[in-house]
Structure 1
Amino acid sequence: MQKLKVCELFAGVGGFRLGLEKTGRYAVVWSNQWEPSTKMQHASLVYEARFGPQNHSNSNIEEVATAEIPDHDMLVGGFPCQDYSVATTLKNSKGLIGKKGVLWWSIHRILSEKKNKPNYLFLENVDRLLKSPSAQRGRDFAIMLRSLNDLGYAVEWRVINAAEYGMPQRRRRVFFLAYHISTELFKSLKNSNPKDWLLKDGVISTAFPVEKTAQNPVSFDLEQNLVSLSNHFNAEKGLSPFLNSGICVDGSVFTLKTTPSYDGHRTLLSDVLENGSADASLYIDETDLPKWEYLKGAKKEVRKTKAGFEYNYSEGSMVFPDALDQPSRTIITGEGGKSPSRFKHVVQTKKGLRRLSPVELERLNMFPDNHTLLEGIPDAKRAFFMGNALVVGVVEQIGSALFQKISEVEKQVQS
């Protein structure tokens, strides 16, 4: 089977591309990266430096005509988590849609307008997508599933914590794959036992095995009218009905709580450290230590709002310094810079306490060393990239399992 042609949206510094290209089964034919409200397009500069400027777009995707995007077999991207509510346009009651600037609708537009729709989608988001917004838990994900079904796709998803499969960072993200109705994989999913698909036969369960479960699945149908679905889904403000694994075909949802099954090698925070070569600027000055200890520590105190209103504030303590015999905590976008912070990683070394280097942050996301090193890009920006990135190993394993599954089902048809 030939390599699958990929379109990478919201490309960042190329995590999806790295993971897919490592399998040797995919070729990126077009990519887009645009950071709103910033003049310097740092992530796009890194992307071009690593992969070349050919077929790379650094324009606002909302303003890129679908005709400019070449046909492709698979569309991938980690799109921003936003409010995905739906409305109708006043001029045309059938016209969808979502608010301007909400980038899910750019994916939706491309899929709607493409005459040759991509056969496969591979998307990623924060795991809270399954339970947002707080007033209608699960509504946003319901809108996505229904709109993908309407466009001819069946969907499977799983929340994956990379560390539970031996990777160096505790990073939970929801990954979802979609298969177009014209593909053998769509038929295979539609005709399968949903529980078997989620526990052993599906693409994600092949890539990331789970234990057999005695827990009862949840099944329900999604309303067909998107505006009505947006207005009424889970309006009684209960828990989200979406569990950490599931499929959705023709508006019917089947969702199940699964537990990871893994007993292989585990990479720890200590395994990614630059031993002895970390820059001196990363070390914490003793005069700053009390501030770090305060921010990382437990608190029960009275605070005041700007308006003078007093309230009781409390939070638990963080492990300080970070445990070296565990995978790391999740990297966030504010990881860079010298200022003391509750959320930045701090490690104990022979030379003293220090923050993590850009290379160590890259390793925690399984990027090549110095992937984000480029003249004119400060270390704080490199840390920001990694706070926004995904764990490359997760993409590689799902990408590999997907290609294998496509080959299998096509062979079965031919025989």
Structure 2
Amino acid sequence: MKKTVVELFAGVGGFRLGLGKASNEWEFVWTNQWEPKRKSQHAFECYTQHFRKTDSDINEDINNIDKNIIPEHSLLVGGFPCQDYSVARTGAKGIEGKKGVLWWNIYEILKLKKPSFVLLENVDRLLKSPSSQRGRDFGIMLACFDKLGYSVEWRVINAAEYGFPQRRRRIFIFAFKNDTTYSKKFDGVNFYDWVHNTGFFQSQFPILSENTARYTPCETNIKYNDLVEVSDNFSFKFLNTGAMAKGNIYTEETRPKFNGPFKTLGDILEKGVGSEYYLNKDLDKWKYLKGAKKIDRVSKDGHKYRFSEGAIAFPDPLDKPSRTMLTSESSKNRSTHIILDPETNKKRKLTPVECERLNGFPDNWTNTGMSQRFRYFCMGNALVVGLVEKMGIQLNNIIENEN
């Protein structure tokens, strides 16, 4: 089987960079990146500057693209947003999801192109959304995969727990067609053995075998007549690890097994950082933003309540992995990282290069003509390249054993 890839929601190329580090045999036959409501498409420009733009790199809204033009491929990858995946009956049109929800574009591509393997990334709250019907949205995704003849394994991975310098927690979803050679290894294997021994994630992201979790493993099924029934009725407490095959679902809370080495925020710092990154004023404002607070507020309907939040370390410790980087990293914001520079002993922000290092990108990867503020934004949206590299190693083995 050829190592051909279609990449959706490509950003500045984290998936492509990670897979490329795992093997130079991956061929990206079609990619799509579109930043809605932005005249300048800086992320796409960054992507194509690094990977040499071709006619198969598309900078258009995926909702408006005819999916039939997408080439055949063996692997579909993408980091897509957590949205409302609910569906409803729409008369003559049958079943339809909400307009503009990007999952339905993935679903349409899976129906048309039937790639053997799929690797997706999302925020871990996907497992719990929506709050009014916990687990429904992920349940709809699993039902879609099941309907199209796929089995699925998922894992919530905190990059710092496997040696990377950022506490970035994301869910990775690996799906495979039930007619692949790879699928045969799970014939007759129970779910526990799948998750702990034979599954996709275990070789690169090992977990403890003993049950030290707060929740006991649990099972359910998603055998409904159609997606509308799933949307209307399904609710389930998904845990950080699990698998689905033939409509049967298993989930378990697992703990990482990793003995180091561990990287820290201090390991990725630049030297000789410019004065523009230092907090030469507004220290009191920063202390307030970072500090604990309780504030009396009134909601729009007149309800009085007390807003409270705990303190954030100020400055951030250098002997631990960083907190999760957000898209607001460039702003004067509670979540923005502030460090005590070991060279000057003065407080400052992280530089764009340091943010790139936290996600495993080469230095100045985003220095391609975009504003400094957007460089931070891109890194707040990006995935940790090293995680994809490790998954790419496993994918190499899987695809090389296919017919």
Specify the TM-score bucket, using the shorter chain as the normaliser: over 0.9
CA distance in 2, matches of 1:285, 1:191: 64
Pairing 1:80-99 to 2, within 5 Å after superposition = 80-92=81-93, 95-99=94-98
Residue 170 of structure 2: SS of its match in structure 1? Answer: strand
Aligned match of 2:36? 36
Q: Does 1:400 align with 2:393?
A: yes
Residue 206 of structure 1: SS of its match in structure 2? Answer: coil
Instruction: List per-residue Cα deviations over 1:331-361 (Å, max 9, x = no partner).
Output: 0001114xx2110000101431111111000
Q: Does 1:274 align with 2:270?
A: yes
**Structure 2 counterpart of 1:167, from 146, 164, 168:** 164
Residue 307 of structure 2: SS of its match in structure 1? Answer: strand
**Post-superposition offset of 1:307:** 7.4
**Post-superposition offset of 1:191:** 3.2
Letter of the 1:366 counterpart: G
Is the contact made by 2:3 and 2:399 (CA closer than 8 Å) also made in structure 1?
A: no
CA distance in 1, matches of 2:367, 2:172: 28
Pairing 1:7-406 to 2, within 5 Å after superposition = 7-24=6-23, 25-54=25-54, 55-92=56-93, 95-114=94-113, 117-214=114-211, 216-224=216-224, 225-234=226-235, 240-276=236-272, 278-286=273-281, 288-304=282-298, 310-337=304-331, 340-349=332-341, 350-351=343-344, 352-375=346-369, 377-406=370-399
Is the contact made by 1:6 and 1:28 (CA closer than 8 Å) also made in structure 2?
A: yes
Letter of the 1:158 counterpart: R
Residue 386 of structure 1: SS of its match in structure 2? Answer: helix
TM-score, length-normalised on structure 2?
0.94
Is the contact made by 1:279 and 1:357 (CA closer than 8 Å) also made in structure 2?
A: no
CA distance in 2, matches of 1:398, 1:405: 11
Residue 87 of structure 2: SS of its match in structure 1? Answer: coil
Q: Which moved more, 1:219-228 or 1:121-130?
A: 219-228
Letter of the 1:226 counterpart: L
Residue 189 of structure 2: SS of its match in structure 1? Answer: coil
CA distance in 1, matches of 2:301, 2:242: 46
Instruction: List per-residue Cα deviations over 1:2-21 (Å, max 9, x = no partner).
Output: 65100000000000000001
Residue 165 of structure 2: SS of its match in structure 1? Answer: coil
**Post-superposition offset of 1:311:** 3.0
Aligned match of 1:237? none
CA distance in 1, matches of 2:38, 2:221: 42
Is the contact made by 1:184 and 1:406 (CA closer than 8 Å) also made in structure 2?
A: no
**Post-superposition offset of 1:207:** 1.3
Instruction: List per-residue Cα deviations over 1:37-94 (Å, max 9, x = no partner).
Output: 11111111111111111120001111111222111110000011111111122223xx
CA distance in 2, matches of 1:393, 1:256: 25
**Post-superposition offset of 1:201:** 1.4
Instruction: List per-residue Cα deviations over 1:199-234 (Å, max 9, x = no partner).
Output: 121110111000103364211111322101101112
Is the contact made by 1:86 and 1:99 (CA closer than 8 Å) also made in structure 2?
A: yes
Identity of aligned residues (%): 50
**RMSD over aligned Cα, in angstroms?**
1.6
TM-score, length-normalised on structure 1?
0.92
Letter of the 1:194 counterpart: F
CA distance in 2, matches of 1:190, 1:76: 25
CA distance in 2, matches of 1:104, 1:131: 16
Residue 87 of structure 1: SS of its match in structure 2? Answer: strand
**Post-superposition offset of 1:242:** 1.0
CA distance in 1, matches of 2:48, 2:188: 42
Is the contact made by 1:153 and 1:186 (CA closer than 8 Å) also made in structure 2?
A: no
> How many residue pairs align between the two structures?
395
CA 192–341 in structure 1, closer or farther in 2 if over 3 Å, else same:
same
CA 111–353 in structure 1, closer or farther in 2 if over 3 Å, else same:
same
Residue 373 of structure 1: SS of its match in structure 2? Answer: coil
Is the contact made by 1:6 and 1:76 (CA closer than 8 Å) also made in structure 2?
A: yes
**Structure 2 unaligned spans of 5+:** none
Residue 112 of structure 1: SS of its match in structure 2? Answer: helix
Q: Which moved more, 1:354-363 or 1:212-221?
A: 212-221
Is the contact made by 2:208 and 2:255 (CA closer than 8 Å) also made in structure 1?
A: yes
Is the contact made by 1:213 and 1:258 (CA closer than 8 Å) also made in structure 2?
A: no
